[in-house]
Amino acid sequence: MAQSVDEKLLNKLAEIADRRASLEAQMADPEIASDHNKAIALAKELGKLKFLTDPYRELRKTQKSLEEARELMHDSAGDPDLRELAEAELPDLEERYEEQLEALKERVVTADDAAIGAVMLEVRAGTGGDEAGLFARDLYEMYLRYCQRMGYKVEVLDQSSGELGGLKEVIMTIRGEGAWRSLGYEGGGHRVQRVPETEAQGRIHTSAATVAVYPEPEEVNIDINWDADVEEHVARASGPGGQKVNKTSSAIKLVHTETGITVSIQDEKSQHKNRAKARRILTGRVFDHYQRQQTAAVDSARKTMIGSGDRSQRIRTYNFPQNRCTDHRIGVTLYSLDKIMQGELDEMIAALQTFDKEQRLKNL
């Protein structure tokens, strides 16, 4: 007989609790405690497990109280007063157990995502000429407004302007609790249907932009040898029309030889600042590249939605004449595009999170 989602969850939590006990025993071993690097690694893993095992212990306590109350209720030979008390307590215990179980489900499926405190988000104009650049700018401003509402800190690492005030590309880092959990669904192709500012006859045009979102990795997550693994090219930064914007060689181009991933930065006048920015972006892209390779090796039925956004995959359509925004992955349509473009993404993100949570629980 197949296990229910709740049974799978409780079995998984029991395994995690055993792993925590094993780690705590290892941490108490003087030989391991004297190995600084190993002790740090174990402490870090232990910290992650406590995020799940502490509330699991509380759930087990409630479960035990619930079982005891049910036993007292069905004990016909027992004390009538105790039986009456157990009957009175049972609804509260059942409600508490369900609340704790739902909270644990949320923690289990989001534990890794919740630990990511910084993400990189890139927006690029796609097909559609100047209108695509304007749409890319609108998406960028939409994300800025959302981040402002959520209290996230945004740093623009690179920005390339297009015609009519549009954007060819913008790369930014976003820091704050829950940033990856909220914005990790945005990666993919975004399509807009509207009358462009440049359209005199009022015809609706379709344009596109792509969004990439990936965690900004800590230095320990990925090891890049900047001398051996990366080619660096230095040039003078160029302005509009090829005009040199300064007399020093400040523009930096980095090429990761193994993957072919390239980053070019000329945003700052300082070569050192451009190099630092380029390295941060390259590190994130290389990390994302290898993460995607690992994901591709996993059975597609076990993939999660978050972080799986391929830029070639159309994920969302923004229809301005109908004030409609449709997410094609989950089939959700909201007729509040005006609010969404002002950064009110909460309802759409909540729908994506709910769907993702259900898929992850099925795949436990």
Q: Are residues 43 and 83 in the same domain?
A: yes
223 in any annotated domain: no
234 CB-near residues (< 8 Å, 6+ apart): 249, 250, 251, 252, 253, 271
pLDDT at 238: 63
Give the Å distances, CA to CA, from 240 to 156, 161, 163, 204, 348: 20, 10, 11, 30, 38
Does 225 map to a domain?
no
In a domain, 224, yes or no: no
Residue 211 and residue 311: Cα distance in Å, rounded? 7
Same domain, 205 and 241: no
- Tell me if 305 sits within 8 A of 185, measured CB to CB: yes
The last residue of a domain, from among 114, 132, 150: 114
357 and 345 within one domain = yes
Contact between residue 105 and residue 180 where contact means Cβ atoms under 8 Å apart: no
Domain's final residue, options 82, 114, 146 = 114
| Residues paired with 119 in a beta bridge | 174, 215
Which of 114, 147, 173 is the last residue in one of the domains? 114
| Lookup: tokens for 19 | 């792993």
Taking the CB of residue 157, how many other CB atoms lie within 10 A of it? 21
User: What's the CA gap between 102 and 353, in Å, rounded?
Assistant: 14
For residue 317, the Cα-to-chain-centroid distance in whole angstroms is: 21
Contact 320, 337 (CB under 8 A): yes
Examine the domain organization and report whether 163 and 24 are in the same domain.
no
Q: What is the pLDDT of residue 317?
A: 97
Local confidence pLDDT in tens for the 364 residues of the chain: 556 778 888 888 899 899 999 988 888 888 887 888 888 888 888 888 888 899 999 999 999 999 988 988 887 777 788 888 888 899 999 999 999 998 888 888 777 777 788 899 999 999 988 999 999 999 999 999 999 999 999 999 889 988 888 999 999 999 998 899 899 999 999 999 999 877 777 889 999 999 999 888 764 467 788 888 889 888 866 654 444 444 556 789 999 988 889 998 887 778 888 888 888 888 888 888 887 776 565 444 445 555 555 566 899 999 999 999 999 999 999 999 999 999 999 999 999 998 988 888 877 7
Residue 333, phi-psi category: left (phi > 0), alpha (psi -120 to 50), beta (remainder): beta
Same domain, 107 and 125: no
- Tally of domains within the chain: 3
Residue 222 belongs to a domain: no
Q: What is the DSSP letter of 299?
A: -
Task: Give the residue ranges of DSSP H helices in the chain.
Answer: 5-27, 30-33, 36-73, 80-114, 129-150, 179-183, 271-297, 337-340, 346-362
Q: Give a yes or no: residue 303 inside a domain.
A: no
Do the beta carbons of residue 212 and residue 308 sit within 8 Å? no
CA distance 57 to 96: 14
Threshold 0.75, pTM exceeds: no
Q: Which domain holds residue 285?
A: 230-296
For position 185, which CATH number holds? 3.30.70.1660
Single out the residue of 208, 150, 189, 232 nearest to residue 328, CA to CA. 189
| Strand-pair category, 205-215 with 167-175 | unpaired
Clarify whether residues 106 and 18 are in a common domain: yes
Let me know how long the chain is. Answer: 364
Which of 304, 311, 99 has the alpha carbon at shortest distance from 190?
311
Asked if residue 159 and residue 37 are part of one domain, the reply reads no
Do 84 and 13 belong to one domain?
A: yes
Task: Please name the residues in contact with 119: beta carbons below 8 A apart, sequence gap of 6 or more.
Answer: 173, 174, 179, 180, 183, 184, 213, 214, 215, 216
For residues 48 and 45, give the distance between their C-alpha atoms in angstroms, rounded to a whole number.
5
Are 322 and 200 within one domain?
A: yes
Would residue 196 count as lying in a domain?
Answer: yes
Confidence (pLDDT) at 307 = 54
Q: Residue 325 and residue 306: Cα distance in Å, rounded?
A: 19
| Pair 286, 251 in one domain | yes
> Quick one: pLDDT at residue 277?
87
Q: Do both 317 and 255 map to the same domain?
A: no
Answer yes or no: is 302 within a domain: no
For the record, the structure tokens of 218 come out as 């800590």
- Verify that 11 and 80 share a domain, yes or no: yes
**DSSP-assigned states of every residue in 83-107:** HHHHHHHHHHHHHHHHHHHHHHHHH
Run of H or E including 345? none
